[in-house]
C-alpha cells in the first residue's frame, strides 16, 4: 500500500495511514464527505495520553492528522461545540439574516461585524449559548473567532490564498521559502480542498454581479483584479444557482456556519484524522492550565462546559506532549497566564508579543443607480483588488447578502499595518489584556484609501457612511484575522517548540507575526504541515 493521501507524501513514508483513511479522505476533498465515524470521547478524568492538542482549528487539525498517521494516539480538546447535530429547525447552523442562540459565543445580543444598515442598528437579542462565533472584546478591538470542532473554518469565508512569493520573507522571515512554495503550500492546498471559480460561470451568474461590478471599477482605475481560490465546493454552488440542491452560499449562510457546500475542516483534515481511528475529540472542554507533571509529561486541567458556558466538571489529565492550537488569541492568553501565574515560569520574554490584526479594515462604496450589485449575492467572496506593492492593501470584494438591491460595493481590506500589540496578565482582574488601540488602524485606513479614493474619484462615487454606525465610513473596530502572540523563532524555536519545556509546542496562527499580506489560513496550515513534519521526524 502506498499509503498516500493528497499532499502527505513525506509523512506517508512511515506507512501508517489506514486504507480506509485514504478513501474517506479523498471523499472528503469532494466537499460532500460522509461524516467520518465518530471516535470515542470525551477524555476521562485522570487519563494519561501521549499527545493532547488544544483547539481544533487549522493548526490543531494538521497536528492531529499527521500525528495520528505517524501512529500516535491524539486527544483533541475543543472549548466549542461539536456542530454535528441539527437543531429543532432541522439545520445544524443558523442563517446570517436570522441569527438565533446558535450564532454567538455566550452573548445575549448579537454583535454583527457590519452592525448598521441605512444608519440603523441591526443587532438583536438572543439567548445565551455556546454559539459558533465569538466576538471577543479587548480594549480598542473586537476579535472575531470560530468556536467549535473545526475552529475558524466553521465561520470563515473559505478564501484560501497563498501569498505572493515576493511577500513571503516579510511574513515568516526565518522560514525557507523554497520549502514552503515547493512542498508545504501545495500540501496545505491539497489537504484543504482548495478550488477556483469557473471564470465563464462567474461572467454570467447573477450571484456574482457584485464581484463583476467590483472588477469593472477596479480595472477602470488601473488596479489588478484577481480571482481568489476558496474551499467552497464550486460545483455545489452552480447547482444552488440552478435550483437543484439545497441552497447555502446563495441563501445567506456564512458567518454562523454553512449547512452545505463549504469544505470546513470537519470535512477535510478532521475527517481524515478521525478515520485513522487514533483521534478522539472532546467538545465543550476548555483547557485552563498546563504545567510540568512530577513524573514527567504535563498536567493539563480541563473545564467541561455545558451549553450555558458553566463548568460542569473539572478534569485533570497527564499528557506526554501538548500542542497549543487554540488560535492566536487562545494560545496567547493561555501562555501569558501560565507564565505569569507560575505554571510555566520559564517561557521566554517573547510570549504575548508581536500580535497584529492582519491590517483588516472594512468599507463600503455607494454606487450609481446604473451599477446595481444584485439582490442575490453569494456569501462566498471570489475576488480581490491587489494594490499591495504600491499601496500596501489587498481588498476582498465582499458580499452584502441582504436579499435586496443595495447599490453598495463592500470590501474587507488586508493592509500592511505595521502596528503590533502585546498580551499581558492583569492580576487584579485575573484575565489577559491586549493593548491594541483603535487609533492603530489609521495606517490600514490610509492604505485602503489608496484603492478606494481613486475608484471613487474615477467613478464619481462616495463611501457609504451607514454600515458601521450613523455617519461612520470605516469598519476599524474589528479583525477577522488575529495573528501572533507566540511568534515563530522568537517565543518558540524555528519549528514551534517551546524550548524551555520539552514536549510543549505551538502550532497555530499565534506563530505568525501579525500579517500574511492575504487571508491567513492557508499559511497557518502550510506552516503547521512544515513544523509537524519536523517534530514527528526528530522528537517522537
Ligand atoms: P482557530 O481556527 O481559531 O482554532 C482555534 C480553536 O481553539 C477554536 O476552535 C477555539 O474554540 C479553540 N480554543 C481556544 N481556546 C481554547 C481552550 N483554552 N481550550 C480548548 N479549545 C480552545 O485557530 N481566513 C482565511 O484565510 N480566509 C477567509 O476567508 C477567512 N474568513 C474569515 C471570516 C471570519 C468571520 C473569521 C472569524 C475568520 C476568517 N478567517 C479567514 C480567519 C481564519 O478563520 C483564522 O485565521 C484561522 O481559523 C486561525 O486558525 P488557527 O488554527 O490559528
pLDDT of 14 strictly over 80: no
Pocket-testing residue among 230, 326, 516, 532, ligand 1, by greatest number of atoms within 8 A of Cβ: 326
pLDDT tens digits, one per residue of 255-313: 999 999 999 999 999 999 999 999 999 999 999 999 999 999 999 999 999 999 999 99
Distance CA 479, CA 196 (A): 25
Q: Whose CA is nearest to atom 14 of ligand 1?
A: 326
**Distance of alpha carbon 259 from the chain centroid:** 17
Distance CA 266, CA 160 (A): 16
The residue among 381, 133, 398 whose CA lies nearest residue 257 is: 133
Distance CA 172, CA 509 (A): 12
Structure-block grid coordinates of residue 403:
436579499
Structure-block grid coordinates of residue 492:
518558540
Tell me the pLDDT of the chain averaged across its residues: 93
Strand spans (E) along 276-335: 279-282, 285-292, 298-305, 311-324
> Which run of H or E residues covers position 187?
helix 185-192
Distance CA 238, CA 31 (A): 14
| 464 band by pLDDT with thresholds 50, 70 and 90 | very high
Distance 131 CA to ligand 1 centre (A): 14
pLDDT tens digits, one per residue of 222-240: 999 999 999 999 999 999 9
Helix%, strand%, coil% for the chain, nearest 5? 30, 25, 50
Pocket-testing residue among 56, 130, 161, 327, ligand 1, by greatest number of atoms within 8 A of Cβ: 327
Distance 145 CA to ligand 1 centre (A): 5
User: Relative to the CA of 152, which ligand 1 atom is closest?
Assistant: 48
Task: Name the least confident of 22-31, 65-74, 108-117, 178-187.
Answer: 22-31
pLDDT score for 6: 30
Check residues 34 and 339 and name the one with the higher pLDDT. 339
Look up the pTM and report it. Answer: 0.94
Cβ atoms of residues 83 and 257 within 8 Å: yes
Distance CA 338, CA 253 (A): 38
> Which run of H or E residues covers position 433?
strand 431-434
Half-sphere exposure of 88 (CA within 13 A, CB side): 2
Phi and psi at residue 491, to the nearest 5°: -75, -25
Distance CA 3, CA 272 (A): 13
Beta bridge partners of 49: 319
Pocket-testing residue among 80, 105, 141, 152, ligand 1, by greatest number of atoms within 8 A of Cβ: 152
State how beta strands 141-146 and 478-479 pair.
Answer: parallel
Beta bridge partners of 462: 366
pLDDT tens digits, one per residue of 154-177: 999 999 999 999 999 999 999 999
Q: DSSP letter for 180, please.
A: I
Q: What number of other Cβ atoms are within 10 A of residue 433's Cβ? A: 17
User: Relative to the CA of 161, which ligand 1 atom is closest?
Assistant: 26
Task: Name the least confident of 2-16, 344-358, 389-403, 428-442.
Answer: 2-16
Distance 216 CA to ligand 1 centre (A): 33
pLDDT tens digits, one per residue of 346-386: 999 999 999 999 999 999 999 999 999 999 999 999 999 99
**Distance of alpha carbon 434 from the chain centroid:** 19
Grid coordinates 481524515 are at which residue? 272
The residue among 269, 205, 264 whose CA lies nearest residue 237 is: 205
Distance CA 93, CA 270 (A): 19
pLDDT of 30 strictly over 90: no
Catalytic residue among 260, 481, 529, 533: 481
Angle at 176 between CA 170 and CA 182, to 5 degrees: 110
Q: Whose CA is nearest to atom 16 of ligand 1?
A: 326
Q: Is 533 one of the catalytic residues? A: no
Q: Whose CA is nearest to atom 51 of ligand 1?
A: 327
Distance CA 426, CA 130 (A): 25
pLDDT of 36 strictly over 50: no
Question: Domains of the chain (ranges plus CATH)?
Answer: 13-83+265-355+484-539 (3.50.50.60)
Phi and psi at residue 234, to the nearest 5°: -65, -35
Q: Tell me how far apart the terminal alpha carbons of the chain are, to the nearest angstrom.
A: 23
The residue among 230, 253, 275, 257 whose CA lies nearest residue 396 is: 230
pLDDT score for 40: 62
Distance 156 CA to ligand 1 centre (A): 8
Structure-block grid coordinates of residue 539:
522528537
pLDDT of 241 strictly over 70: yes
pLDDT of 13 strictly over 50: no
Instruction: List Cα–Cα distances, 257 to 135, 141, 147, in angstroms.
Output: 15, 23, 11
Structure-block grid coordinates of residue 144:
472575531
Pocket-testing residue among 57, 384, 399, ligand 1, by greatest number of atoms within 8 A of Cβ: 57
User: Relative to the CA of 381, which ligand 1 atom is closest?
Assistant: 29
pLDDT > 70 fraction of the chain, expressed in percent and rounded: 93
pLDDT score for 117: 81
Distance CA 367, CA 89 (A): 37
HEC readout, 254-274: CCCCCCCCECCHHHCHHHHHH
pLDDT of 181 strictly over 90: yes
Distance CA 108, CA 111 (A): 9
pLDDT of 21 strictly over 70: no
User: Relative to the CA of 528, which ligand 1 atom is closest?
Assistant: 52
Task: Name the least confident of 114-128, 233-247, 303-317.
Answer: 114-128
Distance 157 CA to ligand 1 centre (A): 12
Q: Whose CA is nearest to atom 25 of ligand 1?
A: 519
Cβ atoms of residues 518 and 361 within 8 Å: no
Distance 58 CA to ligand 1 centre (A): 7
pLDDT score for 470: 83
Beta bridge partners of 232: 262
Catalytic residue among 78, 240, 253, 396: 396
pLDDT tens digits, one per residue of 474-513: 999 999 999 999 999 999 999 999 999 999 999 999 999 9
User: For ligand 1, which residues put their CB under 6 angstroms from it?
Assistant: 54-59, 77-80, 144-148, 151-152, 155-159, 255, 286-287, 325-328, 330, 334, 480-481, 508-509, 519-521, 524
Phi and psi at residue 317, to the nearest 5°: -125, 165
pLDDT of 140 strictly over 60: yes
| 528 band by pLDDT with thresholds 50, 70 and 90 | very high
Distance 407 CA to ligand 1 centre (A): 32
Beta bridge partners of 314: 303
Q: Is 396 one of the catalytic residues? A: yes
User: Relative to the CA of 151, which ligand 1 atom is closest?
Assistant: 9
Distance 63 CA to ligand 1 centre (A): 15
SS3 state at 527 = helix
| 22 band by pLDDT with thresholds 50, 70 and 90 | very low
The residue among 184, 84, 76, 92 whose CA lies nearest residue 532 is: 184
User: Relative to the CA of 523, which ligand 1 atom is closest?
Assistant: 26
Q: DSSP letter for 14, please.
A: T
pLDDT score for 29: 34
Check residues 4 and 443 and name the one with the higher pLDDT. 443
Beta strands across the sheet bearing 141-146: 133-138, 141-146, 478-479
Amino acid at each position: 500500500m502506498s499509503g498516500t493521501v493528497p499532499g502527505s507524501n513525506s509523512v506517508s513514508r512511515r506507512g501508517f495511514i489506514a486504507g480506509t483513511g485514504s478513501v474517506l479522505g479523498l471523499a472528503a476533498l469532494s466537499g460532500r464527505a460522509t461524516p467520518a465515524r465518530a471516535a470515542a470521547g470525551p477524555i476521562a478524568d485522570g487519563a494519561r495520553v501521549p499527545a493532547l492538542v488544544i483547539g481544533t482549528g487549522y493548526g490543531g487539525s494538521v497536528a492531529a492528522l499527521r500525528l495520528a498517521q505517524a501512529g500516535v494516539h491524539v486527544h483533541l480538546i475543543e472549548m466549542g461545540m461539536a456542530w454535528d447535530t441539527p437543531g429543532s429547525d432541522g439545520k445544524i447552523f443558523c442563517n446570517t439574516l436570522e441569527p438565533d442562540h446558535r450564532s454567538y459565543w455566550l452573548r445575549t445580543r448579537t454583535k454583527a461585524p457590519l452592525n448598521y444598515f441605512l444608519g440603523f442598528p441591526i443587532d438583536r437579542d438572543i439567548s445565551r449559548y455556546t454559539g459558533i462565533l465569538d466576538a471577543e472584546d479587548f480594549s480598542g478591538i473586537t476579535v472575531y473567532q470560530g468556536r467549535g470542532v473545526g475552529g475558524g473554518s466553521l465561520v470563515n469565508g473559505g478564501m484560501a490564498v497563498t501569498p505572493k512569493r515576493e511577500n513571503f520573507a516579510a511574513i515568516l522571515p526565518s522560514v525557507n521559502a523554497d520549502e514552503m512554495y515547493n512542498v508545504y503550500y501545495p500540501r496545505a492546498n491539497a489537504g484543504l480542498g482548495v478550488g477556483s471559480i469557473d471564470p465563464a460561470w462567474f461572467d454570467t451568474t447573477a450571484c456574482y454581479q457584485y464581484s463583476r461590478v467590483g472588477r469593472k471599477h477596479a480595472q477602470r482605475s488601473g488596479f489588478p483584479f484577481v480571482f481568489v481560490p476558496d474551499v467552497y465546493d464550486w460545483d455545489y454552488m452552480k447547482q444552488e444557482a440552478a435550483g437543484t440542491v439545497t441552497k447555502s452560499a446563495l441563501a445567506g449562510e456564512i458567518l454562523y456556519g454553512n449547512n452545505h457546500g463549504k469544505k470546513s475542516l470537519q470535512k477535510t483534515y478532521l475527517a481524515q484524522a478521525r478515520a485513522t481511528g487514533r483521534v478522539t475529540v472532546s467538545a465543550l472542554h476548555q483547557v485552563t492550565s498546563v504545567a510540568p507533571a512530577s513524573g514527567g509529561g504535563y498536567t493539563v486541567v480541563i473545564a467541561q462546559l455545558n451549553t450555558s458556558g458553566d463548568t460542569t466538571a473539572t478534569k485533570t489529565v497527564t499528557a506526554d506532549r501538548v500542542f497549543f492550537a487554540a488560535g492566536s488569541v487562545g494560545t496567547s492568553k493561555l501562555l501569558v497566564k501560565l507564565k505569569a501565574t507560575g505554571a510555566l515560569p520559564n517561557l521566554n520574554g517573547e510570549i504575548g508579543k508581536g500580535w497584529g490584526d492582519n491590517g483588516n479594515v472594512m468599507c463600503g462604496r455607494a454606487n450609481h443607480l446604473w451599477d446595481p450589485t444584485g439582490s442575490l449575492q453569494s456569501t462566498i467572496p471570489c475576488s480581490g483588488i491587489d494594490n499591495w506593492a504600491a499601496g500596501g492593501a489587498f481588498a476582498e470584494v465582499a458580499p452584502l447578502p441582504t436579499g435586496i438591491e443595495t447599490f453598495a460595493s463592500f470590501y474587507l481590506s488586508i493592509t500592511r499595518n505595521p502596528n503590533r500589540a502585546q498580551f499581558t496578565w492583569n492580576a487584579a482582574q485575573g484575565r489577559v489584556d491586549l493593548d491594541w488601540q483603535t487609533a492603530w488602524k489609521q495606517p490600514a485606513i490610509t492604505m485602503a484609501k489608496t484603492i478606494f479614493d481613486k475608484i471613487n474619484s474615477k467613478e464619481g462615487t462616495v463611501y457609504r457612511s451607514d454600515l458601521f454606525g450613523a455617519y461612520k465610513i470605516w469598519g476599524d473596530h474589528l479583525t477577522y484575522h488575529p495573528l501572533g502572540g507566540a511568534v515563530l523563532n522568537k517565543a518558540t524555536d524555528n519549528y514551534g517548540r517551546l524550548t524551555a519545556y520539552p514536549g510543549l509546542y505551538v502550532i497555530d496562527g499565534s506563530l505568525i507575526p501579525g500579517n500574511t499580506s492575504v487571508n491567513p489560513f492557508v499559511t497557518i496550515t502550510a506552516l503547521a504541515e512544515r513544523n509537524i513534519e519536523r517534530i514527528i521526524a526528530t522528537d517522537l
